[in-house]
Protein backbone atom coordinates (compact mmCIF):
# COMPACT_ATOMS: atom_id res chain seq x y z
CA UNK A 1 0.00 0.00 0.00
CA UNK A 2 1.45 3.45 -0.81
CA UNK A 3 2.87 5.11 2.26
CA UNK A 4 0.69 8.24 2.24
CA UNK A 5 -2.56 6.31 1.91
CA UNK A 6 -1.36 3.78 4.51
CA UNK A 7 -0.75 6.62 6.94
CA UNK A 8 -4.21 8.12 6.34
CA UNK A 9 -5.93 4.80 7.01
CA UNK A 10 -3.80 4.02 10.04
CA UNK A 11 -4.32 7.48 11.52
CA UNK A 12 -8.08 6.98 11.30
CA UNK A 13 -7.80 3.53 12.86
CA UNK A 14 -5.52 4.86 15.59
CA UNK A 15 -8.02 7.59 16.41
CA UNK A 16 -10.78 4.99 16.78
CA UNK A 17 -8.67 2.79 18.99
CA UNK A 18 -7.64 5.74 21.14
CA UNK A 19 -11.27 6.72 21.71
CA UNK A 20 -12.30 3.17 22.52
CA UNK A 21 -9.39 2.69 24.88
CA UNK A 22 -10.24 5.93 26.66
CA UNK A 23 -13.83 4.77 27.17
CA UNK A 24 -12.71 1.41 28.51
CA UNK A 25 -10.17 3.00 30.82
CA UNK A 26 -12.84 5.34 32.16
CA UNK A 27 -15.19 2.39 32.72
CA UNK A 28 -12.52 0.52 34.66
CA UNK A 29 -11.66 3.58 36.74
CA UNK A 30 -15.32 4.44 37.42
CA UNK A 31 -16.28 0.91 38.50
CA UNK A 32 -15.53 1.17 42.25
CA UNK A 33 -16.85 4.73 42.38
CA UNK A 34 -20.17 3.65 40.98
CA UNK A 35 -20.43 0.98 43.69
CA UNK A 36 -19.88 3.56 46.39
CA UNK A 37 -22.53 5.92 45.10
CA UNK A 38 -25.02 3.07 44.94
CA UNK A 39 -24.89 2.47 48.73
CA UNK A 40 -27.73 3.82 50.97
CA UNK A 41 -27.14 7.35 52.23
CA UNK A 42 -26.49 6.35 55.89
CA UNK A 43 -23.58 7.15 58.14
CA UNK A 44 -20.87 4.46 58.24
CA UNK A 45 -20.35 2.55 61.50
CA UNK A 46 -17.66 3.85 63.86
CA UNK A 47 -14.39 2.06 63.33
CA UNK A 48 -13.06 -0.30 65.99
CA UNK A 49 -10.40 1.56 67.99
CA UNK A 50 -8.06 -1.43 68.17
CA UNK A 51 -8.29 -2.01 64.53
CA UNK A 52 -7.65 1.66 63.93
CA UNK A 53 -4.60 1.65 66.13
CA UNK A 54 -3.26 -1.52 64.52
CA UNK A 55 -3.73 -0.05 61.11
CA UNK A 56 -1.93 3.08 62.09
CA UNK A 57 1.10 1.07 63.26
CA UNK A 58 1.43 -0.80 60.01
CA UNK A 59 4.15 0.33 57.62
CA UNK A 60 2.98 2.16 54.51
CA UNK A 61 2.09 -0.38 51.85
CA UNK A 62 2.52 -0.02 48.11
CA UNK A 63 0.11 -1.22 45.39
CA UNK A 64 0.97 -4.57 43.92
CA UNK A 65 -0.11 -6.13 40.66
CA UNK A 66 -3.13 -8.41 40.87
CA UNK A 67 -4.83 -10.67 38.34
CA UNK A 68 -7.67 -8.18 38.08
CA UNK A 69 -5.15 -5.49 37.12
CA UNK A 70 -3.93 -7.66 34.24
CA UNK A 71 -7.49 -8.23 33.12
CA UNK A 72 -8.16 -4.48 33.00
CA UNK A 73 -4.91 -3.93 31.12
CA UNK A 74 -5.73 -6.67 28.63
CA UNK A 75 -9.13 -5.10 28.02
CA UNK A 76 -7.39 -2.07 26.55
CA UNK A 77 -6.17 -4.06 23.54
CA UNK A 78 -9.60 -5.55 22.77
CA UNK A 79 -10.69 -2.73 20.41
CA UNK A 80 -8.13 -3.86 17.86
CA UNK A 81 -9.56 -7.36 17.86
CA UNK A 82 -13.09 -5.93 17.74
CA UNK A 83 -12.19 -3.77 14.75
CA UNK A 84 -10.63 -6.72 13.00
CA UNK A 85 -13.69 -8.89 13.60
CA UNK A 86 -16.01 -6.10 12.43
CA UNK A 87 -14.11 -5.67 9.15
CA UNK A 88 -14.03 -9.41 8.57
CA UNK A 89 -17.79 -9.66 9.16
CA UNK A 90 -18.34 -6.78 6.77
CA UNK A 91 -16.32 -8.50 4.05
CA UNK A 92 -17.99 -11.87 4.60
CA UNK A 93 -21.48 -10.37 4.47
CA UNK A 94 -20.83 -8.32 1.33
CA UNK A 95 -18.79 -10.80 -0.73
CA UNK A 96 -21.76 -12.91 -1.97
CA UNK A 97 -23.19 -9.97 -3.94
CA UNK A 98 -19.91 -8.71 -5.44
CA UNK A 99 -18.80 -10.13 -8.79
CA UNK A 100 -15.68 -10.07 -10.95
CA UNK A 101 -16.15 -9.04 -14.59
CA UNK A 102 -13.90 -10.00 -17.51
CA UNK A 103 -14.38 -8.25 -20.85
CA UNK A 104 -12.93 -8.94 -24.29
CA UNK A 105 -12.95 -6.16 -26.86
CA UNK A 106 -12.64 -6.48 -30.60
CA UNK A 107 -9.57 -5.07 -32.25
CA UNK A 108 -9.57 -2.53 -35.05
CA UNK A 109 -10.54 -4.06 -38.42
CA UNK A 110 -6.94 -4.30 -39.58
CA UNK A 111 -5.91 -6.26 -36.51
CA UNK A 112 -9.07 -8.33 -36.29
CA UNK A 113 -7.97 -10.46 -39.22
CA UNK A 114 -5.04 -11.69 -37.14
CA UNK A 115 -6.67 -11.88 -33.73
CA UNK A 116 -10.34 -11.00 -33.10
CA UNK A 117 -9.75 -10.50 -29.36
CA UNK A 118 -6.48 -8.70 -28.82
CA UNK A 119 -7.46 -6.68 -25.76
CA UNK A 120 -9.12 -7.62 -22.50
CA UNK A 121 -10.10 -5.75 -19.39
CA UNK A 122 -11.34 -6.47 -15.90
CA UNK A 123 -13.93 -4.83 -13.73
CA UNK A 124 -16.32 -5.41 -10.87
CA UNK A 125 -20.06 -5.42 -10.31
CA UNK A 126 -22.81 -5.50 -7.71
CA UNK A 127 -25.80 -7.87 -7.82
CA UNK A 128 -28.90 -5.69 -7.42
CA UNK A 129 -31.64 -8.16 -8.36
CA UNK A 130 -31.95 -11.85 -7.51
CA UNK A 131 -32.66 -12.78 -11.15
CA UNK A 132 -29.08 -11.98 -12.14
CA UNK A 133 -29.15 -8.22 -12.80
CA UNK A 134 -25.75 -6.68 -12.02
CA UNK A 135 -24.80 -3.00 -11.72
CA UNK A 136 -21.40 -1.87 -12.97
CA UNK A 137 -19.72 1.05 -14.77
CA UNK A 138 -20.51 1.73 -18.41
CA UNK A 139 -16.82 2.12 -19.18
CA UNK A 140 -16.19 -1.42 -17.90
CA UNK A 141 -18.35 -3.00 -20.62
CA UNK A 142 -17.95 -0.36 -23.36
CA UNK A 143 -17.34 -1.91 -26.80
CA UNK A 144 -17.35 -5.38 -25.25
CA UNK A 145 -17.49 -8.36 -27.57
CA UNK A 146 -17.92 -10.79 -24.68
CA UNK A 147 -18.64 -10.33 -20.98
CA UNK A 148 -18.05 -12.98 -18.33
CA UNK A 149 -18.99 -12.77 -14.65
CA UNK A 150 -17.52 -14.78 -11.78
CA UNK A 151 -19.58 -15.11 -8.60
CA UNK A 152 -18.12 -15.31 -5.10
CA UNK A 153 -18.33 -19.12 -5.14
CA UNK A 154 -16.24 -19.34 -8.31
CA UNK A 155 -19.07 -20.07 -10.75
CA UNK A 156 -18.55 -18.33 -14.10
CA UNK A 157 -21.32 -17.12 -16.41
CA UNK A 158 -21.58 -15.49 -19.79
CA UNK A 159 -23.31 -12.11 -19.29
CA UNK A 160 -25.36 -9.98 -21.62
CA UNK A 161 -25.71 -6.22 -21.75
CA UNK A 162 -29.13 -4.97 -20.60
CA UNK A 163 -28.62 -1.20 -20.89
CA UNK A 164 -25.93 1.40 -20.36
CA UNK A 165 -25.70 5.13 -19.69
CA UNK A 166 -22.36 6.68 -20.71
CA UNK A 167 -23.33 10.04 -19.20
CA UNK A 168 -23.82 8.55 -15.72
CA UNK A 169 -21.12 5.89 -16.32
CA UNK A 170 -23.50 3.17 -15.14
CA UNK A 171 -24.63 -0.04 -16.81
CA UNK A 172 -26.68 -3.13 -16.04
CA UNK A 173 -25.72 -6.57 -17.27
CA UNK A 174 -27.42 -9.91 -16.62
CA UNK A 175 -26.54 -13.55 -16.09
CA UNK A 176 -28.91 -16.50 -16.42
CA UNK A 177 -29.17 -17.39 -12.74
CA UNK A 178 -31.94 -17.06 -10.15
CA UNK A 179 -31.96 -16.68 -6.37
CA UNK A 180 -28.80 -14.62 -6.12
CA UNK A 181 -28.09 -12.51 -3.01
CA UNK A 182 -28.62 -8.79 -3.60
CA UNK A 183 -26.78 -5.77 -2.29
CA UNK A 184 -28.49 -3.29 0.05
CA UNK A 185 -28.38 0.13 -1.63
CA UNK A 186 -28.69 3.30 0.45
CA UNK A 187 -28.81 7.02 -0.31
CA UNK A 188 -25.34 8.50 0.16
CA UNK A 189 -26.61 11.92 1.27
CA UNK A 190 -25.97 10.99 4.92
CA UNK A 191 -22.33 10.17 4.19
CA UNK A 192 -19.82 12.51 5.82
CA UNK A 193 -16.10 13.12 5.59
CA UNK A 194 -14.21 10.75 7.84
CA UNK A 195 -16.74 7.94 7.50
CA UNK A 196 -15.12 4.49 7.29
CA UNK A 197 -15.75 2.78 3.95
CA UNK A 198 -14.76 -0.49 2.32
CA UNK A 199 -14.19 -1.09 -1.39
CA UNK A 200 -14.58 -4.60 -2.80
CA UNK A 201 -13.65 -5.58 -6.32
CA UNK A 202 -11.47 -7.22 -8.91
CA UNK A 203 -8.25 -5.16 -9.04
CA UNK A 204 -6.03 -6.02 -11.98
CA UNK A 205 -8.23 -9.06 -12.65
CA UNK A 206 -6.88 -10.83 -9.56
CA UNK A 207 -10.35 -11.71 -8.21
CA UNK A 208 -11.18 -13.99 -11.13
CA UNK A 209 -11.47 -16.82 -8.61
CA UNK A 210 -14.46 -15.08 -7.05
CA UNK A 211 -12.67 -13.79 -3.94
CA UNK A 212 -13.19 -10.03 -4.09
CA UNK A 213 -10.26 -7.96 -2.87
CA UNK A 214 -11.02 -5.62 0.04
CA UNK A 215 -9.62 -2.13 0.60
CA UNK A 216 -10.36 -0.14 3.76
CA UNK A 217 -10.34 3.65 3.85
CA UNK A 218 -12.26 6.73 4.81
CA UNK A 219 -14.34 9.29 2.92
CA UNK A 220 -11.96 12.18 2.33
CA UNK A 221 -14.44 14.42 0.47
CA UNK A 222 -18.02 14.46 -0.79
CA UNK A 223 -19.64 16.17 -3.80
CA UNK A 224 -16.17 16.37 -5.37
CA UNK A 225 -15.95 17.02 -9.13
CA UNK A 226 -13.58 14.68 -10.90
CA UNK A 227 -10.41 16.65 -11.76
CA UNK A 228 -10.04 17.54 -15.43
CA UNK A 229 -6.49 16.18 -15.28
CA UNK A 230 -7.92 12.67 -15.09
CA UNK A 231 -8.56 12.89 -18.82
CA UNK A 232 -12.23 12.06 -18.28
CA UNK A 233 -14.57 11.47 -21.15
CA UNK A 234 -15.93 14.89 -22.06
CA UNK A 235 -19.55 13.78 -21.89
CA UNK A 236 -19.46 11.85 -18.61
CA UNK A 237 -20.95 13.59 -15.62
CA UNK A 238 -18.62 13.24 -12.66
CA UNK A 239 -19.70 16.35 -10.78
CA UNK A 240 -20.54 15.06 -7.29
CA UNK A 241 -18.21 12.18 -6.59
CA UNK A 242 -17.21 10.54 -3.30
CA UNK A 243 -13.45 10.82 -2.81
CA UNK A 244 -11.94 8.04 -0.72
CA UNK A 245 -8.58 6.91 0.60
CA UNK A 246 -9.39 3.25 -0.08
CA UNK A 247 -6.65 1.73 -2.23
CA UNK A 248 -8.20 1.46 -5.69
CA UNK A 249 -6.62 -0.11 -8.79
CA UNK A 250 -7.77 -0.70 -12.36
CA UNK A 251 -10.38 -3.46 -12.15
CA UNK A 252 -12.08 -2.04 -9.06
CA UNK A 253 -14.36 -0.03 -11.36
CA UNK A 254 -18.00 -1.03 -11.00
CA UNK A 255 -17.50 -2.46 -7.53
CA UNK A 256 -19.21 -1.23 -4.37
CA UNK A 257 -18.12 1.36 -1.86
CA UNK A 258 -19.65 0.10 1.40
CA UNK A 259 -20.34 1.93 4.65
CA UNK A 260 -19.70 0.45 8.10
CA UNK A 261 -23.21 -1.02 8.16
CA UNK A 262 -22.58 -3.06 5.04
CA UNK A 263 -24.67 -0.90 2.71
CA UNK A 264 -23.62 0.26 -0.76
CA UNK A 265 -23.22 4.04 -0.82
CA UNK A 266 -21.35 4.34 -4.11
CA UNK A 267 -19.99 2.61 -7.20
CA UNK A 268 -16.22 2.86 -7.64
CA UNK A 269 -15.53 4.62 -10.94
CA UNK A 270 -12.10 6.23 -11.18
CA UNK A 271 -8.63 6.40 -9.70
CA UNK A 272 -5.49 8.17 -10.76
CA UNK A 273 -2.58 5.95 -11.69
CA UNK A 274 0.36 5.76 -9.26
CA UNK A 275 3.05 8.27 -10.09
CA UNK A 276 6.29 9.36 -8.52
CA UNK A 277 5.80 11.82 -5.68
CA UNK A 278 2.00 11.57 -5.66
CA UNK A 279 -0.52 9.17 -4.19
CA UNK A 280 -3.43 7.77 -6.22
CA UNK A 281 -6.81 9.42 -5.72
CA UNK A 282 -9.97 7.31 -5.89
CA UNK A 283 -13.57 8.30 -6.60
CA UNK A 284 -16.97 6.62 -6.46
CA UNK A 285 -20.33 7.57 -7.98
CA UNK A 286 -22.67 8.32 -5.06
CA UNK A 287 -26.00 6.52 -4.84
CA UNK A 288 -28.57 9.32 -4.72
CA UNK A 289 -32.17 9.79 -5.82
CA UNK A 290 -30.88 10.89 -9.23
CA UNK A 291 -28.64 7.82 -9.52
CA UNK A 292 -31.49 5.53 -8.49
CA UNK A 293 -33.69 6.90 -11.28
CA UNK A 294 -30.95 6.02 -13.77
CA UNK A 295 -30.57 2.52 -12.30
CA UNK A 296 -34.33 1.91 -12.47
CA UNK A 297 -34.37 2.81 -16.17
CA UNK A 298 -31.38 0.60 -16.89
CA UNK A 299 -33.06 -2.33 -15.14
CA UNK A 300 -35.98 -1.89 -17.53
CA UNK A 301 -33.62 -1.87 -20.50
CA UNK A 302 -34.09 1.87 -21.11
CA UNK A 303 -31.08 4.06 -21.85
CA UNK A 304 -31.77 7.57 -20.50
CA UNK A 305 -31.88 10.67 -22.69
CA UNK A 306 -30.59 13.89 -21.19
CA UNK A 307 -31.65 17.46 -21.73
CA UNK A 308 -29.16 19.79 -23.43
CA UNK A 309 -29.09 23.59 -23.24
CA UNK A 310 -26.01 24.16 -25.41
CA UNK A 311 -23.96 26.02 -22.80
CA UNK A 312 -20.77 25.66 -20.79
CA UNK A 313 -21.26 26.79 -17.21
CA UNK A 314 -18.71 27.95 -14.66
CA UNK A 315 -18.21 29.26 -11.15
CA UNK A 316 -19.15 32.77 -10.07
CA UNK A 317 -16.35 32.93 -7.50
CA UNK A 318 -14.27 35.25 -9.67
CA UNK A 319 -17.09 37.73 -10.31
CA UNK A 320 -16.77 40.61 -7.87
CA UNK A 321 -19.75 41.02 -5.56
CA UNK A 322 -21.41 37.72 -6.54
CA UNK A 323 -19.52 35.17 -4.47
CA UNK A 324 -22.35 34.53 -2.01
CA UNK A 325 -25.35 35.40 -4.15
CA UNK A 326 -25.89 32.10 -5.99
CA UNK A 327 -26.47 31.58 -9.67
CA UNK A 328 -24.51 30.02 -12.51
CA UNK A 329 -22.27 31.80 -15.01
CA UNK A 330 -22.74 30.94 -18.70
CA UNK A 331 -19.11 30.89 -19.81
CA UNK A 332 -20.01 29.86 -23.34
CA UNK A 333 -23.34 29.82 -25.16
CA UNK A 334 -22.88 27.67 -28.26
CA UNK A 335 -24.26 29.09 -31.51
CA UNK A 336 -27.39 27.39 -32.80
CA UNK A 337 -27.93 25.74 -29.40
CA UNK A 338 -31.19 25.91 -27.40
CA UNK A 339 -29.93 28.62 -25.01
CA UNK A 340 -28.67 30.80 -27.88
CA UNK A 341 -32.01 30.45 -29.66
CA UNK A 342 -33.71 31.62 -26.46
CA UNK A 343 -31.61 34.79 -26.37
CA UNK A 344 -29.05 33.85 -23.73
CA UNK A 345 -25.48 35.03 -24.28
CA UNK A 346 -21.94 34.55 -22.93
CA UNK A 347 -21.58 36.10 -19.49
CA UNK A 348 -25.23 35.81 -18.49
CA UNK A 349 -25.91 34.51 -14.98
CA UNK A 350 -28.70 31.97 -14.55
CA UNK A 351 -30.48 32.71 -11.26
CA UNK A 352 -33.43 30.32 -11.35
CA UNK A 353 -34.96 27.53 -13.37
CA UNK A 354 -38.68 26.81 -13.33
CA UNK A 355 -39.07 29.26 -10.45
CA UNK A 356 -36.51 27.52 -8.24
CA UNK A 357 -33.13 29.12 -7.53
CA UNK A 358 -29.96 27.59 -8.96
CA UNK A 359 -27.10 27.67 -6.48
CA UNK A 360 -24.28 25.91 -8.31
CA UNK A 361 -23.06 24.78 -11.71
CA UNK A 362 -23.42 21.18 -10.55
CA UNK A 363 -27.10 21.72 -9.72
CA UNK A 364 -27.74 23.39 -13.09
CA UNK A 365 -26.16 20.50 -14.99
CA UNK A 366 -28.19 17.93 -13.06
CA UNK A 367 -31.49 19.76 -13.48
CA UNK A 368 -31.07 20.39 -17.21
CA UNK A 369 -30.10 16.78 -17.78
CA UNK A 370 -32.97 15.40 -15.70
CA UNK A 371 -35.52 17.59 -17.51
CA UNK A 372 -34.90 15.58 -20.67
CA UNK A 373 -35.10 16.56 -24.33
CA UNK A 374 -37.97 18.46 -25.98
CA UNK A 375 -39.03 20.09 -22.72
CA UNK A 376 -39.41 23.87 -22.44
CA UNK A 377 -38.16 25.35 -19.16
CA UNK A 378 -38.24 28.91 -17.89
CA UNK A 379 -34.93 30.45 -16.86
CA UNK A 380 -34.40 33.67 -14.97
CA UNK A 381 -31.10 35.38 -15.75
CA UNK A 382 -29.10 38.51 -15.05
CA UNK A 383 -27.18 40.49 -17.66
CA UNK A 384 -25.12 43.55 -16.73
CA UNK A 385 -27.17 44.11 -13.60
CA UNK A 386 -30.55 43.71 -15.26
CA UNK A 387 -32.81 40.72 -14.84
CA UNK A 388 -34.84 38.95 -17.46
CA UNK A 389 -36.71 35.72 -18.19
CA UNK A 390 -36.68 33.42 -21.18
CA UNK A 391 -38.01 30.00 -22.15
CA UNK A 392 -35.50 27.42 -23.36
CA UNK A 393 -36.62 24.35 -25.28
CA UNK A 394 -34.04 21.73 -24.38
CA UNK A 395 -32.60 19.41 -27.02
CA UNK A 396 -31.37 15.84 -26.78
CA UNK A 397 -27.78 15.72 -25.63
CA UNK A 398 -25.68 15.09 -28.76
CA UNK A 399 -23.16 12.24 -28.90
CA UNK A 400 -19.57 13.20 -28.23
CA UNK A 401 -16.71 12.81 -30.62
CA UNK A 402 -15.09 9.41 -30.54
CA UNK A 403 -11.87 9.23 -28.58
CA UNK A 404 -8.86 7.07 -29.40
CA UNK A 405 -9.09 3.70 -27.68
CA UNK A 406 -7.00 3.52 -24.54
CA UNK A 407 -4.76 0.60 -23.71
CA UNK A 408 -6.48 -1.50 -21.04
CA UNK A 409 -4.21 -2.48 -18.09
CA UNK A 410 -2.53 -5.84 -18.68
CA UNK A 411 0.15 -8.04 -17.12
CA UNK A 412 3.51 -8.64 -18.73
CA UNK A 413 5.86 -11.08 -16.99
CA UNK A 414 4.74 -10.05 -13.52
CA UNK A 415 4.36 -6.31 -14.16
CA UNK A 416 0.92 -4.73 -14.52
CA UNK A 417 1.12 -2.00 -17.15
CA UNK A 418 -1.37 0.74 -17.99
CA UNK A 419 -1.58 4.13 -19.66
CA UNK A 420 -0.67 7.17 -17.52
CA UNK A 421 -3.28 9.89 -17.20
CA UNK A 422 -3.10 13.30 -18.86
CA UNK A 423 -1.69 15.00 -15.76
CA UNK A 424 1.23 12.56 -15.59
CA UNK A 425 1.94 12.95 -19.30
CA UNK A 426 1.99 16.72 -18.98
CA UNK A 427 4.11 16.81 -15.82
CA UNK A 428 6.62 14.30 -17.17
CA UNK A 429 6.62 15.62 -20.76
CA UNK A 430 5.83 12.09 -21.88
CA UNK A 431 4.98 11.06 -25.44
CA UNK A 432 1.43 10.12 -26.40
CA UNK A 433 2.36 6.45 -26.55
CA UNK A 434 3.73 5.17 -23.25
CA UNK A 435 2.99 2.68 -20.48
CA UNK A 436 3.29 3.12 -16.73
CA UNK A 437 4.31 0.28 -14.42
CA UNK A 438 1.49 -0.04 -11.87
CA UNK A 439 2.42 -3.16 -9.89
CA UNK A 440 5.38 -5.55 -9.94
CA UNK A 441 5.05 -9.03 -8.45
CA UNK A 442 7.92 -10.03 -6.16
CA UNK A 443 10.34 -12.47 -7.77
CA UNK A 444 8.80 -12.10 -11.23
CA UNK A 445 10.89 -11.60 -14.38
CA UNK A 446 9.90 -7.93 -14.34
CA UNK A 447 11.06 -7.63 -10.74
CA UNK A 448 14.38 -9.33 -11.51
CA UNK A 449 14.86 -6.95 -14.44
CA UNK A 450 14.57 -3.96 -12.12
CA UNK A 451 11.16 -2.58 -13.10
CA UNK A 452 9.46 -0.69 -10.26
CA UNK A 453 6.02 0.91 -9.91
CA UNK A 454 6.09 4.40 -11.42
CA UNK A 455 8.51 3.55 -14.23
CA UNK A 456 7.30 4.75 -17.63
CA UNK A 457 7.97 2.64 -20.72
CA UNK A 458 8.36 4.66 -23.92
CA UNK A 459 9.92 2.10 -26.27
CA UNK A 460 9.58 -1.64 -26.85
CA UNK A 461 12.51 -3.25 -28.64
CA UNK A 462 13.53 0.19 -29.87
CA UNK A 463 10.09 1.01 -31.28
CA UNK A 464 7.60 3.55 -29.86
CA UNK A 465 4.72 2.26 -27.74
CA UNK A 466 1.57 1.96 -29.85
CA UNK A 467 -2.04 0.87 -29.27
CA UNK A 468 -1.13 -2.77 -29.93
CA UNK A 469 1.50 -2.81 -27.15
CA UNK A 470 -0.33 -5.49 -25.16
CA UNK A 471 -0.40 -7.82 -28.17
CA UNK A 472 3.26 -7.15 -29.03
CA UNK A 473 4.38 -7.96 -25.50
CA UNK A 474 2.09 -10.99 -25.20
CA UNK A 475 3.51 -12.46 -28.42
CA UNK A 476 7.15 -11.86 -27.43
CA UNK A 477 8.82 -15.25 -27.04
CA UNK A 478 12.27 -14.17 -25.93
CA UNK A 479 13.94 -11.41 -23.95
CA UNK A 480 12.36 -7.97 -24.36
CA UNK A 481 14.23 -4.67 -24.15
CA UNK A 482 12.14 -1.85 -22.68
CA UNK A 483 13.20 1.80 -22.95
CA UNK A 484 12.23 4.03 -20.03
CA UNK A 485 11.33 7.71 -19.95
CA UNK A 486 14.43 8.69 -17.91
CA UNK A 487 16.69 7.42 -20.70
CA UNK A 488 17.60 4.04 -19.25
CA UNK A 489 16.44 0.60 -20.32
CA UNK A 490 15.78 -2.82 -18.80
CA UNK A 491 15.96 -6.29 -20.30
CA UNK A 492 13.06 -8.46 -19.20
CA UNK A 493 13.96 -12.10 -19.68
CA UNK A 494 11.46 -14.82 -20.49
**Mind listing the pLDDT tens digit for each residue in 197-213?**
999 999 988 898 999 99
311 forms bridges with which residues in the sheet? 333
Supply the pLDDT for residue 278: 61
Let me know if 403 is a catalytic residue.
Answer: no
Supply the pLDDT for residue 227: 67
Helix axis angle for 361-371 and 289-299, nearest 10°, is: 30
Rounded Cα distance between 262 and 91, Å, is 8
DSSP strand pairing (241-244 vs 282-286): antiparallel
Supply the pLDDT for residue 308: 95
148 forms bridges with which residues in the sheet? 102, 158
Q: Regarding the domain delimited by 410-492, which CATH topology (the fold level of the hierarchy) does it fall under?
A: Pdz3 Domain (2.30.42)
Let me know if 139 is a catalytic residue.
Answer: yes
Rounded Cα distance between 289 and 134, Å, is 19
Supply the pLDDT for residue 421: 61
Q: Indicate which residue of 95, 122, 253, 272 is catalytic.
A: 253
Supply the pLDDT for residue 52: 39
Q: Please, is 490 exposed, middle or buried when counting C-beta atoms within 10 Å of its C-beta (0-12, 13-18, 19+)?
A: middle
Supply the pLDDT for residue 229: 53
**What does the mean pLDDT of the chain come to?**
80
pTM over 0.85: no
Tell me the domain boundaries of the chain: 97-305, 307-396, 410-492
Supply the pLDDT for residue 76: 53
Q: Indicate which residue of 122, 139, 348, 468 is catalytic.
A: 139
Residue ranges in the chain whose pLDDT is less than 50: 1-13, 20-65, 67-68, 70, 72-73, 108-117, 231-232, 276, 320-323, 401-405
CATH 2.40.10.120 for domain 97-305: yes
Supply the pLDDT for residue 488: 86
Let me know if 38 is a catalytic residue.
Answer: no
Whether the Cβ atoms of residue 274 and residue 243 lie closer than 8 Å to each other: no
How many Cα atoms sit within 13 Å of 478 on the Cβ side?
2
Instruction: Match domain 307-396 to its CATH number in 1.10.10.10, 3.40.50.2300, 2.30.42.10, 3.30.70.3270.
Output: 2.30.42.10
Q: Indicate which residue of 165, 169, 259, 421 is catalytic.
A: 169
Does 307-396 match 410-492 in CATH topology? yes
Amino acid sequence: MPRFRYHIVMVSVAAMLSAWCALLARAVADGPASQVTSQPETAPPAPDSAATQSSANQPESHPTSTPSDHTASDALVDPLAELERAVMRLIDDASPWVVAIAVERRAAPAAAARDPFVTSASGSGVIIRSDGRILTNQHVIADAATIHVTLHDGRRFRARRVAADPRADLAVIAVAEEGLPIAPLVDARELQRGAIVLALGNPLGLAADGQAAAALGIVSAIARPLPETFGRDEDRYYGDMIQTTAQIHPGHSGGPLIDRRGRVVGIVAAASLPQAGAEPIAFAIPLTARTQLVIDKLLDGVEPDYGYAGVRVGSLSELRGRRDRGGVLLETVFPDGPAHAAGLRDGDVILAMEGSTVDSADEFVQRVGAAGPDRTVEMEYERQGRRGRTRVTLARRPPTESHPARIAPFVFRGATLGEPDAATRQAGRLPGGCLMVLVVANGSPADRAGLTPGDVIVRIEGQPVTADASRRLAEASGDVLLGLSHGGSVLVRK
